A and B are shown apart, each in its own frame.
Chain A
Amino acid sequence: MSKTLSNPEAAPLTDSRRARVGWRVYLTVVAILFALLCAFLITRYTEYRKVQEKFYGQTLVPANEAFDFHMVDQEGRPFQLSQLRGKTVLFSFGFTHCPNVCPTTLAELAKVYHTVPEKDRQLVQILFVTIDPARDRADKLKEYVPYFDPSFIGLTGSADQIAQAAKAYGVSYEKQHNTGDDPDVYFMNHSAYTYLVGPDGKWRILYGFDQLNETEKVAGDVERIIHGY
């Protein structure tokens, strides 16, 4: 304080130098942070590319714990996804009154299942989750789902349970009344993706509806997952 007073001309110089040094430090920190961010993004992207190249479906990198839905299976027993730990699980959401998209999805999944070599098939489980729990109760699913393959499991639940699972996997669905006034006559509009959860319980891959007809490629992904990629 007294120094500043005794040399009034030095004070502004010192302040501006301080300001310059301050700016330099600030810019250096910003540059380092930016470089770190770039490095992080590049690493993430490279990792994603590396994983994506191995698989036909859309991979999720990093793969996170799959939402462990709690439902009721086609025998009316409680069912939760995590009880399939150790298996590679493929599942899709749909409804049994569906004439086109859902039977196609299930028929394609049956082809995939039978393309996986027999020795590995016991390590694969395919599920069909209804988004129309009001009409698709366990007995209905029991008549519907195993038709495509006896090993397939149909799942239903309360409206809340279905909604929770759908939200966790980004599934949208809504009723669409098409004809007449009968409240029981309706279709469901719904997203028609197929989800692959690895034996470690992580959600690894997503397939669009149009990707499923490449049976060999989907079965190849299943094989790679089973064998630990």
Chain B
Amino acid sequence: MPILISGFLCSAGIADELKIEKAWIQSVPPTADATAAYMIIRNTGTQPFVLVGGSSPIAKEIQPMVTTRVKQNGNEILGMGSVDKLEIEPGATLVLKPGGNHLMLMDLLSHPKEGERVKLTIRFDPGNKAIDLDVPIYKQAP
């Protein structure tokens, strides 16, 4: 998957330190106002990074989310919580997956279908550094 470094905003290779794999966005019905982006982010560098959000032409807002799982009378309840950031320590891997942590694309502006690709920029602190991705749309987890 091509990873384009976002212009000169991005100083000496954040993309060298953060490896993005298997990124995809779930296609949802035209009536849906939200979807999610999933991927694996490996921090191969020596400093911690935090995923703070992103942007895409298909959504007004993109926010890191965690899926919460609470046991209540032996019954697991899944919920969501928006977080400001998802941390990735050096050498660690952040997995964004269905039923787990994810990037929530909110107030969708368009609803691309399976087979299409969309631009997705994800941002990391320190430095609000950007990685531009060209992400496939799938109906189901590949």
Contact = CB atoms under 8 A, between A and B. Distances in A.
Contact of B32 (A103, A189, A192): A103
A192 B31 contact: no
Interface string A159-182: 000000000001111001011000
A104 B140 CA distance: 7
Interface residues of B, number: 33
B31 A99 contact: no
Interface stretch (A7-15, A33-41, A105-113): A105-113
A86 interface: no
Interface residues of A, number: 35
Interface in B1-44: 26, 28-36
A110 B80 contact: no
Most chain A CB neighbours (cut-off 10 Å) among B67, B106, B140: B140
Nearest to A212: B99
Contacts of A18: none
Given A103-B28, A140-B31, A172 B82 contact: no
Interface string A115-129: 000000000000000
Contact of A104 (B75, B81, B99): B99
A190 interface: yes
Contacts of A110: 139-140
Interface in B76-117: 76-82, 98-99, 102, 104-106
Nearest to B140: A107
Contact of A103 (B26, B70, B106): B26
A100 B28 CA distance: 10
Contact of A189 (B26, B29, B68, B105): B68
A97 interface: yes
Contacts of B77: 172-173, 189-191
Contact of B33 (A97, A188, A189): A97
Given A176-B80, A189-B77, A189-B79, A99 B34 contact: yes
Contact of A187 (B72, B79, B102): B79
A177 to B, nearest CB: 11
9 smallest CB-CB distances across A and B, nearest first, come from A189-B79, A147-B29, A99-B34, A104-B98, A143-B31, A107-B140, A144-B29, A192-B78, A100-B36
A151 interface: no
Interface string A80-104: 0000000000000000111111011
Contacts of A52: none
A99 B35 contact: yes
Given A144-B32, A192-B78, A100 B67 contact: yes
B121 to A, nearest CB: 19
B32 A100 contact: no
A173 B78 CA distance: 9
A212 to B, nearest CB: 9
Interface string B56-84: 00000000010110101101111111100
